[in-house]
Structure formats: structure tokens, C-alpha cells
Structure 1
């Protein structure tokens, strides 16, 4: 694709592409009228509660269920044996290839634990009762017999000789031995380097913490043999296929429905054991069965994010030019394979590690291991923020070690606009970008030159002030086939049907802006349908910062098909040749005249038109599948300033500026909102969030009493500026924005903190930099200064 669409054709009017249009769904949500899964109540429904393992690793004995079955309200208890007898298959799991080309092991995960439990929170049984309270009461009297075994909770420990083994199918707990790059060439570059910077970096495990816990309702129609699952997810088309594969039925026998979704960040893309149990119970009992996760349970049962241990090395020439980059380490998968489990520490690290810098050689060697912890899945960015964090920490450290200003080191290594298209060592081809200008604009936005005065003011109050840069580039996920459906309704409204799914992003307004700009349909008449798998021809769901690339492209192509049909129908109605009909701003007109018909009037007319020639369409409705487009390359620069209280270790984020290149901004207000959310999550991971386990595999951070999340008061106003360079990889010229906030904020915040602590000689601190860790780093540094 040589050039993006000329977006000026879509940029006329209050609701055009490029305008900050308010989210269509906000009035409903702010009035409390949203329909989340737990808001639904079906006739004759039952309630389910999961029985979960209280032990991280152990041999599971027979369950004594007699007392629970006799409890008031209990109608059924679903067990692993019962599911196996019903033909339920093992849970879906992604696979890959080892460095030697061999296939990775794929331990068979039954829906409910059989023989052994492997993490605290693993589901053992499901209790179904007339009420949720009665189901909980019954669950509490079941005391599973578990013979405890030794547990292992980190990837490096799981890789050690003699570590407790989780799966016979995965000797040494190894799932994937990943390697990318030319080892000999990289080794030669390091040998020839004037300087090598080496950092040990911990990418801490986090709980996903969406606003809405997971919830689902399973139904079964015995007459048709059809299952219906209502839940919050990231894409009904893909979820339907996952559910059908475990149930062992054709996809046509499964319908997935999703209403409002209160956040996901990658986690709700998975097929979880609870969903299968609900559908089985609904078939068994002939009644709907509903379940909602308690928040503490969600800490155990939802897939976690991140959790990598990496040694990162950067080879540099005497003038600071980057020669090669090498990353070696571990990825913790948890007890089972989840959604995209192995991708963040492997392939996505490869794609994103060089960021905006011309780096000739890259080598990534990652061993992905099983451990007695909650399975790890995709989490906002899924390897993209990690790669940028590794590189930006290396850049800052190398600059200090070589005595080169860190901004100058960045400038010397930027990929220049004249080098585009640029083939990265990952094989990805950057189509466009202007990284030097983005950095320059960010420095102005952050008032870089005025920092000394702010630092002095902080010192006058006994605070340490530091500033940090996080310049990033992320590679969006490839955009697969996506549905672009346009349906003209009898009431005069128009429905967009597409297979991405809004779980908080605000798709309705920007999608309507694209359609309104293309077809001239009034903005307030446009509706969005994403949450019914029965309506889908294709659908990639939402993830990897690609929704506008996918659905936006699908809407454009579907709109062109509508215009093509409309010209033929308008020609018939206006009694002219189709070649004499043109379309502009929502009207079909006869060339050179004002004679015409609006697109909405034409849709209404054809619905009841009689005696149409056989070669004419009977509707303007279109169901189209848009073929996927390549990745895009959103990029930007974040600059953070922090204050540290050296007596308590408390860190405060006091100033924040960003300049971003997201290509064409369909709705700048929503783009800024997406960036703000990503920054907040990156800040949380950098300074507050961490899942801790004890030696037995018991989680020590199982609720908000002991797991820190950022609040509004912890964050300053975020400066947001745009330097758009339209993408050449998709017709709208968009680049994706949903995950970029994390990619910039992780390094910006940590670099700022290290800068503040540099007065004590501190050169690195791992995430999360909690007050305890910061205080200890200062105390250790002071001790070294005294003894030195």
C-alpha cells in the first residue's frame, strides 16, 4: 500500500475524522444504564461458585461431596470426571518452535484439576445452587484432600536443576527454548565494541485488575443443541471458536454475546475453565447458570501479566553508535499455557526491542518455563512495553558509563526519516516516522531547559528531583481478516457490524466518524454492533492496538460497496445510466444537475420497491470481509519528572509530557484518553504493583489490602501533543494507540527515579520501586559512601 487514504475526504463537519467527538456510550454509562454481564438476570437461572485449590502444588485426592450436595439450594456439583465423561476436551493452548526447530510441549490442561493441582486458585469443582450464597456455603464445606508437594514460583528457580517438576511432558519445566538472531555475528560485534553496557532487569508480575471482574452466564437449548454464552470478552468471533473447540462441537452450535465490558487489557481474551463448566451445567440442568468472580478470586484465577527476568546487553562503538543488542533470560508462564503466553518475552521482544534506534544486530534468547503460579497471559502491550523498557534503560546506562549526554546518544542512533522504509533486524519494515523531531518536540513540551529551577525548588524542600526520557516505538499486531458490515435499518438508522470489540476504548464514535465521513450519514443515526457472534463473518477481536486499522479499513471498503450498489439503484430510480450518477456527501445525483436522492431515502425506497430488474441489488446492506493489513509503528517520547523523599523512599510523579506519532488521529480526544490510561498502568507497574508469592507458592498479594494500584491523586496532569506521520500500511493512515502509554511510561518513570537517586551513586533499581525498595537503595548507597 503506497499511500494512505486522503483523509481530507473524510474531514468535513463537526463529526468528521480528526474531530474530538464525545463517546457515544458515555451518557448511558454515566447514568448507570450500561449492561454488563453481572447486570443480566435470566428466568429460572441458577448460580455457580468455583471450588479452588488452596495449595500451590500437590496430589489431589478424591473429593468428598456428600455434605455439600445435601446443603440447601444445591442442585449440582460439576467435577472433572463428569466433564470427561461428557466429552469435554482439554483447554486451548498456544504452541511454538524451539531454537532447534522442535515443537514445544503442550501439557494437556483439563477444565478442572485432575490428579494434581499446580497453583493456588486452580479450579477443582463447580457448585451450582439456587443462589450464589447457597453455592458459596456448599463450597466452604468441601475440604479437598491435597498432599502438598514442593513449589516453585519464579522462572529462574523453575529452570534450576532439581526444581519441582510441574508436567511430565515438560522436562525441566521448559516449555519453549526460544532463539532469534545470528549468534556468531552478534558475538563478533560485541567483541569489536569499544564499550558494552549490561543490565539485569526484572519485569515484575502484575494482576490485571479490570474495573469489571469476569462474569458469565451459560445457556443451552436442547431443541437445537445450541449453547449460548454471555460474558465480557475481547472478541465474540474468536471466543466462539475457542469455546466450541473445548466443548467438541461445531462453531455453529455456539453463540457468544457480549454487552458492555469494564476493561480487559488482554486478560479477557482467553477461554477460561469457568465458561466451559457453566455451559456443561446449563446443558445438564436445562437452566441458565451464571457466575461472577469475587475480586479476591480474580487475583488468583485471571491470567497475570509480565514476569520476565532478563540480562540485557548493548554493544557500542567509540562514538556511541549501537552495534548490537543481546537479551538473554526467562519468561514465567505460570502453571499452564494461557493466551499469547509465550509471545511477550520472545517474538514481541524481538519486534520491539530496538525501538527508534538504528541497531544492526539483535539476538534474543528466552527460556519460557512453567511454575506454580497463576498462568500468565497478554497484558497491555504484551512484550511491546518490555522491549522499549529494556532499550531505554540500556541507553541511559550506556550514556552515563561512556560520559555522553543521553539525549545526544539518542540523537546519534535515531533512525532518520531519510532511512525510511527501514528494515529492522527483526525483519519488520518501518514504513515511516520522524523520531528526531518527536524527541525535540517532547523536550520543548517538557520545558527541559527550565528543569534546573524546578530541581532547585525541590531541593529547598528536602526532596530529590529527577527526570527521565522514554522514547518508544511499538509494533502493532498484524491485522487479520475483519468484518465490515453496514445495515440500513427500517427506522432510518444505520448499523456498523464489525468483529473488533470495545471493552472500554470507545469504538462507537470513531467508527461512526469514519462512516459518516465516507457516506455522509448523520452521526447520530449510526449504531455499532460488535458483541454477537451470530452476526459475524469474521472478527479479530480487539488487541495489539489494531482496531482502527482493522475495523476502520473494513468500514471504508464496505462503504465503497454500498456506493457501488447505490449508484446502480439510484440510476434505476432516477431513470438514467449508472455512469451518469455520482455520489457526494450522502447523495446520489445525476452528473451536472441537482436531481438526486439521499442515501437514506434510497435505502428506504429499495426496501419496498417492486418490479426491480433481476440484475439490481435488493438492498444497500453490505456484509464484507476486509483482508488484513501489515503492522503499523506508533511511536513517541514521554518525559517524566519525579520527586523522592529520601527519608521515607516515597516517590511522587510531579510532571509528565508526551509527544506521540499515532498517524492520523480519527478522534484526538479518545486517543489522548487511551494514552492516559496506558501511562497510569505503566506508572503502577514501575512504582507500585507486584505479585508476591511465599516459598510454598501462596500469594501474598491477594487483595487490594496488599496490592498497590495507582489512584487519581497519585498522577499529575498528562501533557499530550501529537506529531502525526500517517502510516502507509493501512487505508486510514492510523497507527494504533491503545498500548503505547505503557511503552513510554515504564522507562520514563524508572529513568527519572534513577536520575533522582544518582546523587547517591544509585545506577539502577528494579520495578516496582516501592518506598521500601527506594529507601533501602538510598540506605545501601549511603552505607557504601561511608565505608568508601
Structure 2
């Protein structure tokens, strides 16, 4: 079964040893030992032809096991510390061993004593008024313990599931935020809207009883697109959201932009669809709710992207103080933004646990997740670019619609508004930007963040416009981009959006990408493709992302009695491989042995702060927190070592893990000092009794990862099939803590971009029924669809955080969408095709060719 795969770490890596990226299809060889990478690449095509077994093991996972069987994986690195294991080294991931051995602990792997099981009753209709919910037959079934509806939750003091974004309408008024409760009481607003929850003694009993619940719903007309929802005669989803419009967003100086367009020598225009995506992480959602009647405290085991922030949001939804909520996250099998939210199921589970005095567990089924997990993207924009006669950019204007789904998610309209504007500017000297977005609720699954969260979308719109303008003006696509790049001497550069780029060398990076892609030698390859009866095209996708601000993040460093050192952080790994680079940062700072470092995450009780993982900020946030915490450890260590060595504190130096008296050979290692403290070293009252530190790194500015991706495609004109013939990416992520892990992140992001560009399509019918509700209808990229990648780093360290890193997790999507689609349009240009929307499926391409013919 093809699923987007990603794995994360348990909340205590000391207990669970490690996690893996092996069941991420695109990462199956990304993190193998360096010695086997070449063989893995040579074998990759064979892997695409391997059968997928009934358990759903992908070809890449099989390849991983093959590599292990051939003794080609480094099982355990030799003890390393300091520079040998520090920042900049491509060390094998500490995370990999556990899940390769099948020892991962996901939420659905957990069971609590006496637990009951839940199943949800969901609306089969996209829009309608609930007349009755008949539960008597279901309640009488074997094993059923309780059935809950919205009526049962009323009066319990629970809060609404809130959108965290507040943006003004263009007239200055507040955006509308329709209320969403855990179970809907009056109306259903999309297929999959939860109406009731059944609790039983077994999973199957709960699911059987859920099917026996009868819903009487007066069906109303459905609207599935933002444009349709905003039509004058459209059926309204909420009484307090007239016309279904939740936000009429505007940014920019409309007068100045209009003047620039009026004076332009050329204006390029495109209507562009950014297609809806179903997230499909390899692990469906699951949760276990429990309640301690003595402490009046809730505990939820659930996948998340950060235990601290989700704990706070969940406490608000339950109407209790934050200290009465405990969130625990173990391994997480992918998220891509989706699992960061407090979903309605979690509230009902905790309610049931309190009422029944027993833990209650629920696990999503894949078919259920298609209509209950948040979706991504789904926006339509009329994009315009004004240029002077030489091809220099004068202004951009984006006017469009954002589909919010049946309710506002936590990020709500953020992706279709602010993030479109911030990330459409790119690495270009564009003087003026205007963004106008009308965001509407529709009878579809709610939209939330999906890998990039508005950044790939904004960049895609801009890069498609640039290619269109170049073709219409007769300017080479590389030349027009080079002509508009910001030069290093112009940094820091303030964009019309207000962001300030601090670092980078965009012209050098762009030149390196053209060279690596053999831009000048393309015509020979094009002739060879034509001779073989194929259409060939090439596409450029430059990008510059505005990452999420790191925010306040915890960096805890604890020296344990067993001789290990524990890092405690509020970010959370759900496949990225945090344990390894975080350990590399720590060993670089303190000289602690790399193989003695553990990672604790995912337990809100262990945290004093935590912004979580998202927006490509983890290494900037947690890495910086670890660096600053290390500085505090060194300060404490100098005080303590001065006492042990009988020297003045001012004479103590710290280098490569040792405190030494300057100018002498007398020293003590940091681990030895920690052992002495553990053994009860006698200390005066004015000295700290431990090296341990719990530190909060304060908010820092965003960083600006950037790059250039160049794709070449071959298209069979008879079938419309697209093959990506080559793919080159040159990226600036600043300091690379672990280059191999960074490359793996890029591979994964590019694969997801290829999926959106070429095959992933979400379709609703006129009644709001999801046509693409299973893998029979929703296509996803497989190993055979993925090209060989050329990965090049041209890093310029940022000055916005102590690590010097810029974040890399979502850049693959940002670069791949435009590079692949620009290549497809280029290949189809001889047939008169000017634009084709994603996904460029074989059917869509065949129709485009023959429509022009």
C-alpha cells in the first residue's frame, strides 16, 4: 500500500534506543552507511520492480532489509566525540536501528490496563441538518459500554476547537471564526464530520455498534470549492458566516501596484490551481485518553509535533488548567503538519475516560483517515507579473480563493494569505507585491498545514509566472531569473512584505545549478528524446522560504547516573532524525561522547517550554537551545572544576570536553566531573550541586533557506506518461549539522512535490462525496516514479541563530513543484500548451496535447 512514510522518536530515547527513517519510501537509502550508498543507488531501479507484500512493505523498505542482510549498514558507530562527531559530519542516524528491528512504539502499539475501545460515527452527507441520532439499537449490542453525542458533552465546560490565526479583513474588521465543538450538534458540514462516539470492550464491538447508530439528516446542497461557496445563491454552512466568507484578506498598496502594471511593458497572467492533497502519513492517527480521579488530571497518548504546545491547546479545549493535562507522544509515523492539531476525537476520548473511569483507546482506519485527517493546499489564484521591456520585475499581484473546508483548522487561512505573500517574493528584486485572498468554508474536509504550509504554494505561483513571462517575451528562462536576482552586496535586503534577508549568494547558487544540470548541453538531449519519439522539457524552480520563527524552545542537558547525557527538547521528531544532529551539536559544544547522548522528547511533563516541530525550524530552535544550554553548563563547570582543581575560576579554560588550569597540564574531563558530582562530591554552599541545565532559548527571527532545482522530463505523447529524466538541486541551508540527513530530507520533500505535481488528485462530486477516498482512486508516487537526485550544498551561514542553520525540512516541496511543472509545460510547448494544472496526470497531458491538435 503506497503511503507517505515518516517516522519519529519515542519520548525517551534512552528507553527505546533509536528510531528509523527506513519505512519512509524516499529515505530507504538516504541514511544508509556511506559505503553502501552507491550500491543502493545502482539497485534502486530493481527495487521499483519488487512486489509489495500484503503487509504493505514498500519496495524501498525491502531494499533497506536487503542492504542490512548484506551487512552494508553501520550497526553501531565507534565512540566519537568533539569534532569527529560534531557539526558538519555525515554520521549514520542513531534513530535507525529500533524500527528496522520492529521495535518502534507508536500510539496504537500501546495498551493501558482495563482500557476500552472507541469508534466514531461520522456523517455520510456533506451538508445537512441533524434531526435525530438513534442509538438504542447500538447501545443494546454486545460489549457496548457507552455512546456519546454532542448532548452528552454539553455543559461540561469544554471549549471550542479554535483557529489560532487572527487576520483582519481588508476593511479592518475581524475575520469570522465559526465555532467547532468536538461532536457536531446541529448540522453536519462535510462527509466524515464526527457525530457520535461508541465505547465498547473490543475494537470490533465498537466498530460494529457505530455502524448500527442511525442518523436522520435533512440533506442540504453542498459546495466544494471556495468560488462556489462564495456564489450569491450558495448554501451557507454557518448562520454567523454570511455568504460563507470567513476572511477577505488584502496586503499591499493597491494604487502603487496598479500604477506599476499600467506602466509595464509586459504583463504575464496565469490562473493557477494548487491542488488539494490528502496527507497520508504511514501511521494513521490514534489516541488513548485516561483520567486520574485523585489528581483530577487528564493524560492523552497521541501523535503530535510537539507535546508542550499541543498540551496547552488540548487543555484549553477541555476547559482545564494546563497543569491538569499531560500529553505523551511516542514514535510518530509521519505528520507533514497534519498531526500538530488538537482533533475533535481527542476531546471525546478524554471525556469518556473521565466518565467511565477507564482508559479509552481509538485508532483510525485508513479509509476513515481520508475523511477525518486535515487535508492540505487547495487554493486558486489569478497570478500576474508586471515587467519592464528588459524583463525586470516591477510588481506581482495574486488574487484568489482559499478553501478552508467545513471548519477552520488551527492555522486556518494562514497558508492562503500571509504565507503566499511572504514566499512569492523569492530571491528576486520585486519592488511591489499585492495579495488578495477570499477564504471560504466549504463542505469538504478542513484544510491545514501540509509540508511547507503556503510556502511551496506562493513559490509555485511566482515561478510559473516567470516561465510564462520569459516565453511570452522571448527571453531565456535562466537569463530572466539571473537579471532579477538579489546580489550579495545588496544584503541585507528588505522585501515589500517586510521580511529582511540576512545572508546568501543567489547568483552563485543559481550559476552552480545551471552548471550541474548541464543547461548548455540540453539541446543534444532534446534531440535524442525527439528521435526516440518523446517530448523533452526542462524546468527551473528557484525558491526562498521564510521559515517559521524558532520561538521559545527548551534545551535541557542532564548528566545521568549511568554515565549518559540526556538532551530534553520541546521539538519532536516524526521522521526528520533529530536525535543524531542534536547529539552532534552537544558533542561539538561539550565534547560529550556521541554514543552516550540520549534524547527525551514528547512528554509535556518533562518540558518547561516548547514550540514543537514545524516550519523547518527544529535545528534553529532546539540546536540553538542546546548551544545556549551548553554555555551555561560550561559556566557551572568552571565554578565546580575550579573547586576540584583548587584554582581560581578565572584561570579555568574549557576545551574539547576538559576543564583545565590555563598554562598547566592539570585538568578534569566534563564526564569525570559529572561522575564526581553523582558520587556526592563535597561542595561549599555557594556552588551548584550539578551540571544539569534546563534552559529556554528565546525567540529569534526567521531564517531564509533558498535554492534552485532543475528538472528534465520526457513525455510519451501517445500515453501522456511523464518520466523525470534528471533532477538537480543546489540549496543554501546555511550550516549543515549532518549533511546526509539534510539530503534525506530533500529527497523526501522532492518526492512529495513530484506526487503533487504528477499524480495526487483529490476529487469531490457535486454532493460533496469524496471520489478519491482510497488508494484505488488516490494515486501516490512510488519508487519507480522517483529519479536519481543530484544534491549540492552552497551554504552561507545565517546570522539569525547560534547554529547558523536555515532549516531544510520543506524546501524539497518548494523547489520541486515549479521545476517539474515548468519542465512539463516546456515539453508540451511545441503542441501549443501554455499551462497545465497539477496534477499533470497522463490523462490530463494527453488531453492537453490533443485539445491543441
Same fold (TM over 0.5): yes
Alignment of 1:108-119 (within 5 A): 108-119=179-190
In the other structure, the counterpart of 2:156 is: 86
Deviations 1:648-695 (A, max 9, x none): 111111211110001000000000011111101111111111210000
Describe the SS at the equivalent of 2:235. coil
In the other structure, the counterpart of 2:91 is: 21
Q: Which structure 1 segments of 5+ residues have no match?
A: 1-9, 783-788
In 1, the alpha carbon distance for the partners of 2:145 and 2:495 equals 59
In 2, the alpha carbon distance for the partners of 1:60 and 1:691 equals 27
Deviations 1:533-585 (A, max 9, x none): 00111100000011011001100000000000011111111111111111111
In the other structure, the counterpart of 2:460 is: 389
In the other structure, the counterpart of 1:62 is: 132
Structure 1 position 262, deviation (Å) = 0.7
In the other structure, the counterpart of 2:824 is: 753
Cα contact 2:332–2:574 (8 A) shared by 1: yes
In the other structure, the counterpart of 1:785 is: none
| Aligned residue among 428, 435, 444 for 1:373 | 444
Matched, 1:103 2:174: yes
Deviations 1:748-771 (A, max 9, x none): 000000000001010100111111
Matched, 1:39 2:109: yes
In 2, the alpha carbon distance for the partners of 1:171 and 1:23 equals 52
| Aligned residue among 229, 237, 253 for 2:324 | 253
| Aligned residue among 721, 728, 736 for 1:650 | 721
In the other structure, the counterpart of 2:841 is: 770
In 2, the alpha carbon distance for the partners of 1:594 and 1:61 equals 84
Cα contact 1:654–1:715 (8 A) shared by 2: no
In 2, the alpha carbon distance for the partners of 1:407 and 1:657 equals 15
In the other structure, the counterpart of 1:348 is: 419
Matched, 1:164 2:235: yes
Cα contact 1:686–1:750 (8 A) shared by 2: yes
In 2, the alpha carbon distance for the partners of 1:405 and 1:459 equals 21
Deviations 1:234-279 (A, max 9, x none): 0000110111001110000011001111110000000001111111
In the other structure, the counterpart of 2:359 is: 288
Structure 1 position 611, deviation (Å) = 4.4
Cα contact 2:82–2:656 (8 A) shared by 1: no
Matched, 1:708 2:783: no
Structure 1 position 609, deviation (Å) = 2.8
Cα contact 1:469–1:639 (8 A) shared by 2: yes
Structure 1 position 12, deviation (Å) = 5.2
Matched, 1:239 2:310: yes
Matched, 1:579 2:650: yes
In the other structure, the counterpart of 2:54 is: none
Deviations 1:347-383 (A, max 9, x none): 0111111111100000000011000000000000011
Deviations 1:463-491 (A, max 9, x none): 11111010111110111100010011110
Structure 1 position 461, deviation (Å) = 2.0
In 1, the alpha carbon distance for the partners of 2:149 and 2:579 equals 41
Alignment of 1:193-342 (within 5 A): 193-342=264-413
Structure 1 position 11, deviation (Å) = 10
In 2, the alpha carbon distance for the partners of 1:424 and 1:715 equals 35
In 2, the alpha carbon distance for the partners of 1:652 and 1:26 equals 31
Cα contact 1:11–1:17 (8 A) shared by 2: no
Structure 1 position 96, deviation (Å) = 2.2
In 2, the alpha carbon distance for the partners of 1:413 and 1:571 equals 57
In 1, the alpha carbon distance for the partners of 2:682 and 2:730 equals 59
Describe the SS at the equivalent of 1:161. coil
Quickly say closer, same or farther: Cα 1:530–1:14, change in 2 above 3 A.
same
Give the count of matched residue pairs.
773
In the other structure, the counterpart of 1:431 is: 502
Describe the SS at the equivalent of 1:652. strand
Deviations 1:95-135 (A, max 9, x none): 32111221111111111011100000000011111111010
In 1, the alpha carbon distance for the partners of 2:410 and 2:681 equals 52
Cα contact 1:92–1:271 (8 A) shared by 2: no
Deviations 1:66-93 (A, max 9, x none): 1111111111112111111322221122
In the other structure, the counterpart of 1:7 is: none
Structure 1 position 150, deviation (Å) = 0.3
Matched, 1:447 2:518: yes
In 2, the alpha carbon distance for the partners of 1:616 and 1:286 equals 47
Describe the SS at the equivalent of 1:342. helix
In 2, the alpha carbon distance for the partners of 1:733 and 1:532 equals 28
Q: Which structure 2 segments of 5+ residues have no match?
A: 1-79
Deviations 1:185-211 (A, max 9, x none): 000000111111110000000101111
Structure 1 position 457, deviation (Å) = 2.0
Alignment of 1:723-762 (within 5 A): 723-762=794-833
Structure 1 position 45, deviation (Å) = 1.0
In the other structure, the counterpart of 1:599 is: 670
In 2, the alpha carbon distance for the partners of 1:661 and 1:546 equals 15
In 2, the alpha carbon distance for the partners of 1:169 and 1:585 equals 63
Structure 1 position 449, deviation (Å) = 2.4
Structure 1 position 453, deviation (Å) = 2.2
Structure 1 position 730, deviation (Å) = 0.8
Cα contact 2:677–2:690 (8 A) shared by 1: yes
Describe the SS at the equivalent of 1:13. helix
Matched, 1:72 2:174: no
Deviations 1:609-658 (A, max 9, x none): 35421111011100111101101110001011111111111111121111
In 2, the alpha carbon distance for the partners of 1:686 and 1:189 equals 32
In the other structure, the counterpart of 2:641 is: 570
Taking structure 1 as the reference length, the TM-score comes to 0.97
Matched, 1:30 2:97: no
Describe the SS at the equivalent of 1:325. strand
Structure 1 position 339, deviation (Å) = 2.3
Structure 1 position 446, deviation (Å) = 1.2
In 1, the alpha carbon distance for the partners of 2:147 and 2:657 equals 58
Cα contact 1:688–1:769 (8 A) shared by 2: yes
In 2, the alpha carbon distance for the partners of 1:428 and 1:203 equals 24
In the other structure, the counterpart of 1:6 is: none
In 2, the alpha carbon distance for the partners of 1:110 and 1:766 equals 36
| Aligned residue among 517, 522, 531 for 2:602 | 531
In 1, the alpha carbon distance for the partners of 2:681 and 2:89 equals 41
Per mean C-alpha deviation after superposition, the further-off stretch among 432-441 and 377-386 is 432-441
In 2, the alpha carbon distance for the partners of 1:354 and 1:709 equals 30
Matched, 1:620 2:711: no
In 2, the alpha carbon distance for the partners of 1:719 and 1:83 equals 54
In 1, the alpha carbon distance for the partners of 2:824 and 2:458 equals 19
In 2, the alpha carbon distance for the partners of 1:89 and 1:232 equals 21
Structure 1 position 141, deviation (Å) = 1.0
